[in-house]
Structure 1
Amino acid sequence: MPNSRHGRFITFEGGDGAGKSTQLRRLAAWLQARGHSVVATREPGGSPAAEAIRGLLLSGRAKPLGALGETYLFAAARIDHLAETIEPALASGAIVLCDRFIDSTRVYQGIGGDLDPAVLAAIEAATIAGRLPDLTLVLDLAAERGQQRARARSDTPDRFESADLPLLEARRQGFLAIAAAEPARCTVIDADRDADAVFADVASRVAELLGLPEGLGDG
Structure 2
Amino acid sequence: MPRGKFIVIEGLEGAGKSSAMACVKNFLTEHAIPHRQVREPGGTPMAEAIRALVKQPWMETVTAETELLLMYASRAQLVANVIEPSLAQGEWVIGDRHDLSSRAYQGGGRGIADEKLASLRQLVLGEFQPDLTLLLDIEPQRGLARAQARGDLDRIEQEELAFFKRTRQRYLSIAATDPTIQVIDANQDMAAVHRDLLQQLQRFMAQELN
For the residues of structure 2 that align with 1:11 and 1:121, how far apart are their CA atoms? 19
Which one-letter code corresponds to 1:76 in the other structure? A
Match of 1:203 among 179, 198, 201: 198
Number of equivalent positions:
207
Q: Is the contact made by 1:63 and 1:70 (CA closer than 8 Å) also made in structure 2? A: no
For the residues of structure 2 that align with 1:62 and 1:112, how far apart are their CA atoms? 21
Match of 2:88 among 88, 91, 101: 91
For the residues of structure 2 that align with 1:62 and 1:179, how far apart are their CA atoms? 36
For the residues of structure 2 that align with 1:196 and 1:93, how far apart are their CA atoms? 30
Please name the residue that 1:136 is paired with. Answer: 133
Query: Which runs of 5 or more structure 1 residues have no equivalent in the other structure?
Result: 213-219
Please name the residue that 1:217 is paired with. Answer: none
Counting only pairs closer than 5 Å after superposition, residues 65-76 of structure 1 correspond to structure 2 as 65-76=62-73
CA distance change for structure 1 residues 25 and 181 in 2, over 3 Å: closer, same or farther?
same
Counting only pairs closer than 5 Å after superposition, residues 151-162 of structure 1 correspond to structure 2 as 151-154=148-151, 156-162=152-158
Q: Is the contact made by 1:12 and 1:137 (CA closer than 8 Å) also made in structure 2? A: yes
1:117, CA displacement in angstroms? 1.2
Query: Which runs of 5 or more structure 2 residues have no equivalent in the other structure?
Result: none
Please name the residue that 2:167 is paired with. Answer: 171
1:112, CA displacement in angstroms? 2.5
Which sits farther off after the overlay, 33-42 or 61-70?
Answer: 61-70
Q: Is the contact made by 2:110 and 2:163 (CA closer than 8 Å) also made in structure 1? A: no
Question: Does residue 187 in structure 1 map to residue 148 in structure 2?
Answer: no
> 3-state DSSP class of the match of 1:181?
coil
Moved beyond 6 Å, runs of 4+? none
> 3-state DSSP class of the match of 1:64?
coil
Please name the residue that 2:110 is paired with. Answer: 113
Equivalent pairs: percent with the same residue?
37
What is the root-mean-square deviation in Å for CA atoms of aligned residues? 1.6
For the residues of structure 2 that align with 1:190 and 1:171, how far apart are their CA atoms? 16
For the residues of structure 2 that align with 1:63 and 1:32, how far apart are their CA atoms? 45
For the residues of structure 2 that align with 1:105 and 1:136, how far apart are their CA atoms? 14
1:33, CA displacement in angstroms? 2.3
Match of 2:54 among 57, 61, 66: 57
1:34, CA displacement in angstroms? 2.0
Match of 1:38 among 16, 21, 35: 35
Match of 1:148 among 145, 149, 158: 145
> 3-state DSSP class of the match of 2:170?
helix
1:65, CA displacement in angstroms? 4.3
> 3-state DSSP class of the match of 1:138?
strand
